[in-house]
Structure 1
Amino acid sequence: MSRVLVLNCGSSSVKYRLYDGDTVHDKGTVERVGEPGGGPADHETAVREILDRVDLAGLAGVGHRVVHGGRRFSEPVLVDDAVFAAIEELVPLAPLHNPANLAGIRVARAALPGVPQVAVFDTAFHHTLPEAAATYAIDRDTAERYGIRRYGFHGTSHAYVSRRTAELLGRPYDQVRTITLHLGNGASACAVDGGRSVATSMGMSPLEGLVMGTRSGDLDPAIVFHLRREAGMGVDEIDDLLNHRSGLLGLSGVNDMREVLARRAAGDRAATLAFDVYRRRITGYVGAYYALLGRVDAVTFTAGVGEHSADVRAAALAGLDRLGISVDPARNAGSGDRVISPDGAEVSVCVVGTDEEREIARETRAVVGATG
Structure 2
Amino acid sequence: MAALAAIVCSAALTSLPTEAAAQTAQTHRLKFQAAWPTTSSLWENFVLFTRRVEQMSGGRLRIEALPAGAVVPPFELLEAVHSGVLDGAHGAAAYSVGLNKAATLFGPAPGGPYGMDLIDYLGWLYHGGGLDLYRELYRDHIRRDVVPLPLVAVDNQVLGWFNREINSWADLRGVKCRQTGITAEVFSAAGMATVNIPGGEILPAAERGLIDCAEWVGPGEDIRMGFQQVFRYYYMPSVHEPAIALELLINPRVWGRLPADLQEIMRTAALAVTVESQIRNNVAHARALRELQERHNVQIRRTPDEILVKTLESWDRIKEREAQRNPFFRKVLESQRSWAEQVVRAKQLVNPPADLLRDYYWPRQ
Q: TM-score, normalised by structure 1?
A: 0.28
Higher strand share: 1
Look at both structures and tell me which one has the larger radius of gyration over its CA atoms: 2
Higher helix share: 2
